[in-house]
Amino acid sequence: MRYAETGFNLEIDLTRGSIERVATDPRDTELYLGGLGTNAKILWDRVPPEVDAFSPENLLIFATGLLCGTPATGCNRTIVTTISPQTKLMAFSMMGGFWAPELKYAGYDKVILRGKSPDLVYLWIHNDKVEIRDASHLKGKGANETADLLRAELKEPKAQVASIGLAGENRVFFASIEQGRSSASRGGIGAVMGDKGVKAIVVRGTKDINVARPAEFMELTNEVLNYIKFRNENPIPGVMPILAGLGSPQEMAIHDEKWHTENFMWGNSRHRRRDFWNEEVEKEWTDTMHKARTRLISCYNCPMKCGATISLPGQPTYMMKCFSKLTYTMAAMSNLEFGLKIAQRATEYGVDGFSAPQVMAFALELYENGILSDKDFEGMPEDNEERFLWLLDRIVRREGIGDVLANGTYWAALEIGNGADAFAHNNIKKHEQLPLKLSMLNPIYFLMYCTGEKINITQIEGQFPQAPWATLEEREEFVKDWFQVPDEKFKQILLDWEPRGEKSMPFYPTVDMCCDIVDWQEKMHYIDDALGMCAGLSSFPLKPPYHIHNYPKFISAGTGIEMDEEKLTKAAKRYRTLVRANNIRRGMRRKDEKPPENHWKKRFPELEKELLDTYYKFKGWNNDGIPTPESLHDLGLDYVSEDFFKRGVYETTEGAPSTDTSATSEKN
Amino acid sequence: MWRRQNMKGEKKKKIVKSIRIDVDKCNGCMACEVVCSAFHASPKYSSNNPARSRIRVIRDPIADIYVPVYAGEYAVAECAGRDKYTIDGKEYDECAFCRASCPSRDLFKEPDSGLPLKCDMCSSDPTLEKPLCVQWCLNDALIYEEREEEVEDEPTVDDLEIGLESLANQYGLDKLTDIITRMSASKKG
Ligand code: SF4
Ligand code: SF4
Ligand code: SF4
């Protein structure tokens, strides 16, 4: 018997309309765990670099994490993996909510879609019964609207639905997959779902998920719950409220937005408003939130409440979480009420809450600067807020200028030309980033921005404090019960770290220390993504309940696979390297690994070079960021180096043009 | 606030165990369902499946409806008339607050056999300090209370009997007796 996982994937060929239930190889679980890990392996085996995001051979994989469906608190992530139309690299966006455990209870670990359906369809997975059904009546419907209609149509109020809106149907490069409470939105995976002609996947499952050593597993879970209680009662002192507790940043609960509104950039990631937050704004925004917010809500099997139901007068109710609370507000230089209003429409359309507002602000900047003209904006209203709503409508329908903008700022700038690229200034690997512009280089963040392959800073940062406390006493206080560290040396690094002077940024933590810190931070995210754990209880916050010391025990007790810290670290390194291998094969090189030019004002080119050189070596990659044959061999990934040799990957030298494709090849 | 109760104990003095449900505090996480189904698996905690839980959360997030409901008595037939409640402007489905395992819905039935489920207050030896769903609800939507009361004695019907009764209702007592006789014969043979 397989424990924690079901041992079966659903393989669905949309071109032929065939559905297969395929047993998986338990050895793959040992090597790559599950979720992201096994997704990376499948993508490597079956999606060669010649396959574009929108070719029928591209796969769209909905995976549950290895421990989803077990009683492990907060283990509910769906990891969606495909080739991104925007970055042309491997995308592995995730969503919380309720979908992944439901799929497990239906008896499957993954749903793997290939081919393209000629007509819009939806999938109905009800335990052993799996059907491809007509969705023509859902064309153009909102993502959440679709979910409600399907639950009613199927008379299954307990079914969980992952669906796309208009943006996905029209292959907007930053289209999301929505699930009511949560969404998988980075990298344009919703566009791939739309391209495949799939409007929604509806799941209902009523089967058991077994664990190998029940008593031990429950004890571990109870320890986690108790620690969550402890952490909820004992927030970390001396840090911003959103960093003090557990969970995703508590944006729905917290009203004090001084830090975000004065430190993050407004407009097209342009303007810093240092004195923005005052009593008047605070009162207005708090009132808005109180009026709009009906309830704080959680994901499956989690006591935290990171999301909220938002209900504005005259608008349909929707659910929101995290920072999308402010991204539209700040891009439009408007207020919270507007932000919550447009986010409702954006959620139904199904677009990413980071990219979409930035693309719109970018368009208006181009207009103000005469790069785009009146002709491009024919019919656009005068009012600033109305303009954002108008632009959103054009983009998701790919009408007029919206068709260009729907490809994101990088590709739009390329197509528009005329100096537009200077305005697409906040991308990494062609993907819009958080609107942050800071003064002095942070070496830890430098490495994370460069090498993060989820291409989103929140999906690699965490665990290690973002800045040192001013006094040694405070730092001593913090390290006292910091048992989550993988090695005692991290405590010393923090103790010695000063806000000013010799042991301060950017030269302290030293290059080697930065490598260790970033590696630890990244590793925890990768483990979460394979197990299906929410980063909000693990890799993201300070002092989380899940860590490198209890994870191996969870895996052993859950799956019956013998696991220890060393073996887990190696497994995580293995599939992390496989993610990179997929991207290297698609042309990603050192030249792509850089933060936005203007992310920091004060840069240190020599130090930056040393950081990247050293980190690449530390990771077992050559100076161009390619995993070396030796390091691949250590990980049992000789099949990767063989492929690299065959494709001449090792022959490209630093700075040489890679196999990057042009903007036009994606436009069909 | 809804109260549910389960009586247990000696002659006249009884410990009344009750769970107070505060729907305003429920965040819809289903942790209560997870732990209940795991606790009742055999061996204990060896599997997990909310469909087997003896507490189910009636959940409609967009309508802001969250009602944790405990499995109560098995009902042979569905009610003739059903009620709809509107509270605070929210309309609750008929049967939303009902605890019965009843032919009209799939709630509180074993998914494979269809046998009825009933909350047993996590009866176990030794007795738990608090029922598990309460322990796992960190949001205090479920609060456990105990008090002593003078009440009439009432025999407890155990799970097996409830199960058999429902099978008898479904298939007829004769058929059931037939099968049991056949089963015991084949076991011996
Ligand atoms: S911590 Fe928040 S985001 Fe994470 S699973 Fe719990 S409710 Fe969801
Ligand atoms: S555990 Fe508590 S908060 Fe979660 S669904 Fe059950 S009653 Fe509601
Ligand atoms: S009290 Fe025990 S048996 Fe009853 S619903 Fe809660 S966990 Fe289940």
* Residue pLDDT, tens place only, A350-370: 999 999 999 999 999 999 999
Are A302 and B51 an interchain contact pair (Cβ–Cβ within 8 Å)? no
The angle subtended at Cα A46 by Cα A41 and Cα A48, nearest 5°, is 105
Domain count within chain A: 3
B103 with B183, same domain: the answer is: no
Give the per-residue pLDDT at A659: 45
- Identify the domain containing residue A337 by its residue range: 242-426
- Among B156, B157, B158, B153, smallest CA distance to B10 is for B153
Give the per-residue pLDDT at A229: 97
- Identify the domain containing residue B103 by its residue range: 14-151
Q: Which residues of A318-339 are buried (b: 16+ CB within 10 A; e: fewer)?
A: bbbbbbbbbbbbbbbbbebbbb
Helix then strand count (H, E) for chain B reads 4, 8
A97 with A124, same domain: the answer is: yes
What rounded mean pLDDT belongs to chain B?
A: 86
Residue in the block written with tokens 């044959």: A629
If you measure from the C-alpha of residue A154 to the centroid of ligand 2, how many angstroms do you get, rounded to a whole number?
A: 26
Are B41 and A300 an interchain contact pair (Cβ–Cβ within 8 Å)? no
B40 with B114, same domain: the answer is: yes
Residues of chain A with pLDDT under 70: 652-668
Please give, rounded to a whole number of angstroms, the shortest distance from the CA of A212 to a CA of chain B.
7
Looking at the CA of residue A300, tell me the nearest atom of ligand 1: 5
If you measure from the C-alpha of residue B138 to the centroid of ligand 3, how many angstroms do you get, rounded to a whole number?
A: 15
Output the residue whose Cα is nearest ligand 1's atom 1: A247
A267 with A340, same domain: the answer is: yes
B132 with B41, same domain: the answer is: yes
Q: What is the DSSP string of A429-486?
A: TTEE--SB-EEE--HHHHHHHHH-SS--GGGT--SS-SS--SSHHHHHHHHHT-TT-S
Residue in the block written with tokens 């395992």: B101
If you measure from the C-alpha of residue B178 to the centroid of ligand 2, how many angstroms do you get, rounded to a whole number?
A: 43
**Is B139 touching A (CB cutoff 8 A)?**
yes
The residues with which A82 forms a beta bridge, in sequence order, are A91
Tokens representing A84 are 């991104």
A497 with A623, same domain: the answer is: yes
CB-CB contact of A339 with A266 (8 Å): no
CATH code of residue A275: 1.10.569.10
Tokens representing A130 are 């799996």
Q: Mark out chain A residues that contact chain B at CB-CB < 8 A.
A: 69-71, 73, 98, 105, 144, 148, 157, 180-181, 205-211, 214-215, 217-218, 225, 228-229, 232, 294-303, 305, 309, 311, 316-319
Decide: A545 in ligand 1 pocket, CB within 6 A.
no
If you measure from the C-alpha of residue A616 to the centroid of ligand 3, how many angstroms do you get, rounded to a whole number?
A: 53
Q: How many CB atoms lie within 10 A of CB A659?
A: 15
Nearest-10 crossing angle of helices A565-585, A36-46 = 40
If you measure from the C-alpha of residue B63 to the centroid of ligand 1, how many angstroms do you get, rounded to a whole number?
A: 21
Which domain-ending residue is among A204, A234, A261? Answer: A204
Output the residue whose Cα is nearest ligand 3's atom 2: B122
- Among A389, A286, A382, A295, smallest CA distance to A338 is for A389
DSSP class of B71: -
- Per-residue pLDDT band for B2 (boundaries 50, 70, 90) equals very low
Looking at the CA of residue B21, tell me the nearest atom of ligand 2: 7
Nearest-10 crossing angle of helices A384-397, A336-349 = 10
ipTM surpassing 0.90:
yes
Task: Return phi, psi of residue A538, to 5°.
Answer: -145, -90
Q: How many CB atoms lie within 10 A of CB B184?
A: 10
CA distance A227 to A234: 10
CA distance A476 to A472: 6
Task: Say yes or no to pLDDT of B80 above 60.
Answer: yes
Distance of CA B131 to the CA centre of its chain: 13
Task: Return phi, psi of residue B118, to 5°.
Answer: -145, 140
Give the per-residue pLDDT at B157: 64
Ligand number with the minimum distance to the CA of B99? 3
For residue B7, is it within any domain?
no
B176 with B85, same domain: the answer is: no
E strands present in B10-117: 13-21, 47-48, 55-60, 65-70, 85-87, 90-92
Residue of A nearest to B34 (CA): A71
B129 with B184, same domain: the answer is: no
Task: Say yes or no to pLDDT of B11 above 70.
Answer: no
Query: Which residues of chain A make contact with B50, given a CB cutoff of 8 A?
Result: 105
Residue in the block written with tokens 């424990």: A3
Which domain-ending residue is among A426, A455, A479? Answer: A426
Percent of chain B with pLDDT over 90: 56
Q: How many CB atoms lie within 10 A of CB A601?
A: 10
- Among B102, B79, B73, B100, smallest CA distance to B162 is for B73
Domain count within chain B: 2
B130 with B43, same domain: the answer is: yes
If you measure from the C-alpha of residue B56 to the centroid of ligand 2, how many angstroms do you get, rounded to a whole number?
A: 9
Which domain-ending residue is among A396, A426, A456? Answer: A426
For residue B4, is it within any domain?
no
B55 with B141, same domain: the answer is: yes
Please give, rounded to a whole number of angstroms, the shortest distance from the CA of A266 to a CA of chain B.
31
A405 with A451, same domain: the answer is: no
- Among A433, A403, A427, smallest CA distance to A416 is for A403
Decide: A342 in ligand 1 pocket, CB within 6 A.
no
Query: Which residues of chain B make contact with A180, given a CB cutoff of 8 A?
Result: 61-62
Mutation target among B36, B44, B48, B136 for the A interface, most CBs of A within 10 A: B48
Which whole-number Å values give the CA distances from A401 to A171, A374, A408, in the listed order? 15, 11, 12
Please give, rounded to a whole number of angstroms, the shortest distance from the CA of A135 to a CA of chain B.
23
Residue to mutate (ligand 1; options A231, A534, A538, A546; most atoms within 8 A of CB): A534
Containing A177, the helix (H) or strand (E) segment is: strand A177-178
Give the per-residue pLDDT at B154: 60
Q: Which residues of A78-112 are buried (b: 16+ CB within 10 A; e: fewer)?
A: bbbbbbbbbbbbbbbbbbbbbbbbbbbbbbbbbbb
CB-CB contact of A457 with A445 (8 Å): yes
CATH code of residue A53: 3.60.9.10
For residue B20, is it within any domain?
yes
E strands present in A367-429: 427-428
A261 with A359, same domain: the answer is: yes
Query: Which residues of chain A make contact with B140, given a CB cutoff of 8 A?
Result: none
Are A208 and B60 an interchain contact pair (Cβ–Cβ within 8 Å)? no
- Among A425, A431, A324, A326, smallest CA distance to A366 is for A425
Residue B21's SS3 state is: strand
CA distance A634 to A615: 18
Contacts of A638 (CB under 8 A, 6+ apart): A629, A632
Residue A125's SS3 state is: strand
Nearest to B61 among A73, A206, A319 (CB): A319
Decide: A91 in ligand 1 pocket, CB within 6 A.
no
A400 with A477, same domain: the answer is: no
Are B62 and A309 an interchain contact pair (Cβ–Cβ within 8 Å)? yes
Output the residue whose Cα is nearest ligand 1's atom 5: A74
End-to-end CA distance of chain B: 56
Decide: B136 in ligand 3 pocket, CB within 6 A.
no
A500 with A608, same domain: the answer is: yes
Q: Which residues of A482-520 are buried (b: 16+ CB within 10 A; e: fewer)?
A: bebbbeeebbebbeebbeeeebebbebbebebbbbbbbb
Q: Tally the C-alpha atoms within 13 A of residue A364's C-alpha that lie toward its C-beta.
A: 25
**Is B114 touching A (CB cutoff 8 A)?**
no
CA distance A596 to A223: 42
Nearest to A217 among B45, B66, B138 (CB): B45
If you measure from the C-alpha of residue B120 to the centroid of ligand 3, how many angstroms do you get, rounded to a whole number?
A: 6
For residue A308, is it within any domain?
yes
Residue to mutate (ligand 3; options B19, B40, B119; most atoms within 8 A of CB): B119
- Among A181, A576, A172, A240, smallest CA distance to A396 is for A172
**Is B74 touching A (CB cutoff 8 A)?**
no
A189 with A300, same domain: the answer is: no
B20 with B58, same domain: the answer is: yes
For residue A197, is it within any domain?
yes
CA distance A70 to A557: 11
Contacts of A359 (CB under 8 A, 6+ apart): A174, A395, A405, A408, A409, A412, A432
B22 with B83, same domain: the answer is: yes
CB-CB contact of B144 with B17 (8 Å): yes
**Average pLDDT, stretch B72-101?**
90
- Per-residue pLDDT band for B1 (boundaries 50, 70, 90) equals very low
Q: How many CB atoms lie within 10 A of CB A46?
A: 14
Are B31 and A302 an interchain contact pair (Cβ–Cβ within 8 Å)? yes
B56 with B128, same domain: the answer is: yes
More confident: B2 or A604: A604
Provide the Cα torsion B161, B165, B170, B171; round to 10°. 90
A250 with A337, same domain: the answer is: yes
CB-CB contact of A486 with A467 (8 Å): no
A413 with A443, same domain: the answer is: no
CB-CB contact of A225 with B64 (8 Å): no
For residue A268, is it within any domain?
yes
B181 with B91, same domain: the answer is: no
B119 with B181, same domain: the answer is: no
A318 with A466, same domain: the answer is: no
CB-CB contact of A564 with A552 (8 Å): yes
- Per-residue pLDDT band for B9 (boundaries 50, 70, 90) equals very low
Q: How many CB atoms lie within 10 A of CB A607?
A: 16
Query: Which residues of chain B make contact with A205, given a CB cutoff of 8 A?
Result: 51
For residue A516, is it within any domain?
yes
For residue B2, is it within any domain?
no
Residue in the block written with tokens 């079966």: A8
Task: Return phi, psi of residue B106, to 5°.
Answer: -95, 5
A284 with A188, same domain: the answer is: no
Q: How many CB atoms lie within 10 A of CB B178?
A: 12
For residue A553, is it within any domain?
no
Query: Which residues of chain A make contact with B52, given a CB cutoff of 8 A?
Result: 208
Give the per-residue pLDDT at B156: 62
